[in-house]
């Protein structure tokens, strides 16, 4: 069964961490919805993306199989102040749905209040100190219960394959990896 995934964006979000997630999850036949607070979002290197849904129009009870938060310092700072998104993340986490964050985006998870002292996380090294209350790992991708975190743009494919494997779609991950000559 196809999974329903929300990707939250803001001005300054990292392109690679957005485009690769959208592309590979759609190759796996996941339903990916791109949402932000603006109709058109300018990402960190000037790429513009037209979103499919306004975050502010969403119900706080909106449910997804997974929510993915890409990094990029400016985008993370903006997303961390969006109370609607933070509530949606918290509600989905509490229902056991997957929450995945890459690069600086674990700071959004921290702001949403879903990390505990037992949470094992990784991130871009530049924000490691801000995640000092949690168990920090330097692994490229960390899966901890219904959380997946990853280091940065260079770990994007591993991050996406971890999402697919989390849902038991290792065969899709393998096929996509072969199709794009990842291995």
Task: Using pLDDT thresholds of 50, 70 and 90, give the confidence band for residue 183.
Answer: confident
Of the candidates 14, 63, 124, 144, the residue annotated as catalytic is: 124
Determine which one of 60, 94, 103, 139 is catalytic. Answer: 103
- To the query of whether residue 94 is one of the catalytic residues in this protein, the response is no
pLDDT in tens, 4-46: 999 999 999 999 999 999 999 999 999 999 999 999 999 999 9
Q: What is the CATH number of the domain that holds 88?
A: 3.40.50.880
What's the domain range around 139?
4-179
Q: Tell me the whole-structure pTM to 2 decimals.
A: 0.97
Residue 17 a catalytic site member: yes
Closest among 87, 31, 78, 30 to 58, alpha carbons compared? 87
pLDDT digits (tens, 9 = 90+) for 61-80: 999 999 999 999 999 999 99
* pLDDT tens-digit map of 83-116: 999 999 999 999 999 999 999 999 999 999 999 9
Q: Three-state SS string across 36-66, please?
A: ECCCEEECCCCCEEECCEEHHHCCCCCCCCE
Cα–Cα dist 168/19, whole Å? 22
Q: How many folded domains does the chain comprise?
A: 1
Is residue 1 predicted with pLDDT exceeding 80?
Answer: no
**129 in catalytic set:** no
Q: Catalytic residue, from 14, 15, 17, 39: name it.
A: 17
């Amino acid at each position: 069964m196809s999974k329903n995934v929300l990707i939250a964006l803001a001005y300054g979000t990292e392109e690679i961490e957005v485009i690769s997630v959208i592309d590979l999850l759609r190759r796996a036949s996941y339903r990916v919805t791109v949402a932000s607070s603006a109709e058109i979002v300018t990402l960190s290197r000037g790429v513009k993306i037209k979103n499919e849904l306004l975050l502010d129009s969403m119900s706080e009870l909106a449910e997804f199989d997974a929510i993915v938060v890409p990094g990029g310092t400016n985008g993370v700072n903006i997303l961390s102040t969006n109370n609607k998104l933070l509530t949606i993340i918290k509600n989905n986490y509490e229902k056991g749905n997957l929450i995945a964050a890459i690069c600086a985006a674990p700071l959004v998870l921290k702001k949403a209040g879903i990390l505990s002292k037992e949470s094992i996380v990784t991130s871009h090294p530049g924000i490691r100190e801000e995640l000092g209350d949690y168990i920090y790992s330097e692994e490229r991708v960390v899966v901890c219960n219904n959380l997946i975190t990853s280091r940065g743009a260079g770990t994007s494919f591993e991050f996406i394959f971890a999402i697919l494997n989390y849902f038991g779609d290792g065969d899709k991950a393998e096929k996509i990896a072969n199709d794009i000559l990842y291995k």
